[in-house]
């Protein structure tokens, strides 16, 4: 596999096909994405479906192919909007002259153009058309318009065309497009740095079968680990009990309770440049743990709790402290509490989110946060945790004032 394709693991890609003979190449592109570990959802325009069958692309992607903006099976949940939020990257390959013109005009008259308008994911376009159509002044004007909006233009290539002409207008080969897609997730912003991240909940034992914990799934911390790897860092992930696979190229240390997580974190001092405390650590633990299962006898039971160590505050006060980032999961007065934690625990940055809101935070695939430093506040709107993690890693890199190794 090409080197940069490793960054596509666990990425969510919408592959849009428009009308053109080059659509046959998109079957191989779908296969390459899947081989690299990406999840692919294919969207066909009506014209594209004349060149390649949905069944072919469904078999290769492992997902249903999307064709209609008003799909009764999906629209009860605003399916096209959910699909737009789902993507880490939208790639239109092939992109016809007609599609490029409609996008430049801001039209949303089919599923694919609507997704592009509704998504905050990066959009890349791989043109495929007759060489005369490519050189037409209006097409060139439309392309410049899309580039000015921040869309990536990949190609076209030059060579013989199906119509018999030769020149610019060929869609780039699937291998080239896969490489370019992989490069989208390789920022290098943390190149050479060592990052330690805590993730997931902790469990504080009451007896051999019961414990105190919380609803954290670990998804945000794991997404941050993936984003830091993409950005070139060497990552140690200290994880509480979660049902998630370890990201590739991450050193994972599995712990159960707060004390174990603190011990693992302190062992990284002097060996990490950035510490991100994304774990939801239990604030309290039972004062004593019963050796045997507590039997249900009385109508009430008194449980004495003692405070757990504050992991992120301990790290921030360490003589070999790294750049320290905390999280604040709040249910009220989010920014007030977050800024108080930033000051009290002497953090460099804190990432605050309102876990009382439906659809974000604990156990969700999406999140919306506000990044707080001593001198700034920046709100990041609702996005997938993967997208959000990449943005957070970029912001952390911008705030760093430490030497690179």
Question: Catalytic residue positions?
Answer: 163
Tell me, letter by letter, the H, E, C secondary structure of the chain: CCHHHHHHCCCEEEEEECCCHHHHHHHHHHHHHHHCCCEEEEEECCCHHHCCCHHHHHHHHCCCCECCCCCCCCHHHCHHHHHHHHCCEEEEEEECHHHHHHHHCCCCCCHHHHHHHHCCCCEEEEECCCHHHHHCHHHHHHHHHHHHCCCEECCCEEEECCCCCEEEEECCCHHHHHHHHHHCCCCCCCCCCEEEEEECECCEECCCCCEECCCCCCHHHHHHHHHHHHCCCEEEEEECCCCCCCCCCEEEEECCCHHHHHHHHHCCCCCCCEEEECCECCCEEECCCCCCCCCCCCCCCCCCEEECCCHHHHHHCCCCCCEEEEEEEECCCHHHHHHHHHHHCCCCEEEEEECCCCCCCCCCCEEEEEEECCCCEEEEEEEEHHHHHHHHHHHHHHHCCCCCC
Q: Distance from CA of residue 75 to its chain's centroid?
A: 25
- Are 18 and 99 contacting, i.e. CB atoms less than 8 angstroms apart? yes
Nearest residue to 336 (alpha-carbon basis) of 367, 361, 372, 310: 372
Sole residue written with tokens 């610019």: 168
Nearest residue to 41 (alpha-carbon basis) of 74, 72, 19: 74
């Amino acid at each position: 596999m090409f080197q940069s394709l490793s960054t596509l693991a666990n990425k969510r890609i919408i592959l849009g096909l428009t009308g053109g003979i080059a659509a046959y190449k998109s079957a191989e592109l779908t296969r390459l994405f899947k081989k690299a570990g990406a999840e692919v959802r294919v969207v066909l325009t009506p014209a594209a479906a004349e060149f390649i069958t949905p069944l072919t692309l469904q078999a290769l992607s492992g997902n249903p192919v999307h064709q209609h903006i008003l799909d009764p099976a999906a629209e009860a949940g605003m399916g096209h909007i959910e699909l737009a939020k789902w993507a880490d990257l939208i790639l239109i390959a092939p992109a016809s002259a007609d599609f490029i013109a409609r996008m430049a005009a801001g039209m949303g008259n089919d599923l694919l153009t609507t997704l592009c308008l509704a998504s905050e994911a990066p959009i890349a376009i791989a043109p495929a058309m007759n060489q005369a159509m490519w050189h037409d002044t209006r097409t060139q004007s439309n392309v410049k318009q899309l580039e000015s909006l921040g869309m990536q233009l990949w190609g076209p290539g030059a060579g013989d065309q199906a119509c018999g002409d030769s020149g610019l207008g060929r869609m780039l080969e699937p291998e080239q497009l896969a490489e370019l897609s992989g490069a989208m997730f390789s920022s290098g912003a943390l190149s050479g740095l060592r990052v330690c991240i805590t993730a997931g909940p902790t469990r504080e034992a009451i007896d051999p079968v019961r414990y105190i914990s919380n609803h954290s799934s670990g998804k945000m911390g794991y997404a941050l680990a993936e984003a830091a790897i993409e950005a070139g860092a060497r990552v140690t992930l200290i994880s509480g009990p979660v049902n998630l696979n370890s990201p590739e190229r991450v050193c994972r240390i599995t712990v159960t309770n707060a004390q174990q997580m603190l011990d693992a974190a302190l062992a990284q001092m002097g060996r990490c440049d950035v510490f991100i405390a994304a774990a939801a650590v239990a604030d309290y633990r039972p004062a004593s743990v019963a050796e045997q299962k507590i039997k249900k006898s009385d109508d009430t039971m008194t449980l004495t709790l003692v405070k757990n160590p504050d992991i992120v505050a301990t790290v921030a006060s360490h003589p070999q402290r790294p750049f320290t980032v905390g999280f604040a999961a709040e249910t009220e007065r989010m920014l007030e509490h977050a800024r108080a934690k930033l000051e009290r625990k002497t953090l460099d940055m804190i990432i605050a989110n309102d876990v009382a809101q439906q659809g974000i935070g604990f156990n969700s695939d999406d999140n919306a946060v506000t990044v707080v430093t001593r001198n700034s506040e920046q709100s990041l709107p609702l996005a997938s945790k993967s997208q959000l993690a990449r943005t957070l890693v970029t912001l952390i890199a911008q705030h760093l004032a430490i030497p690179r190794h």
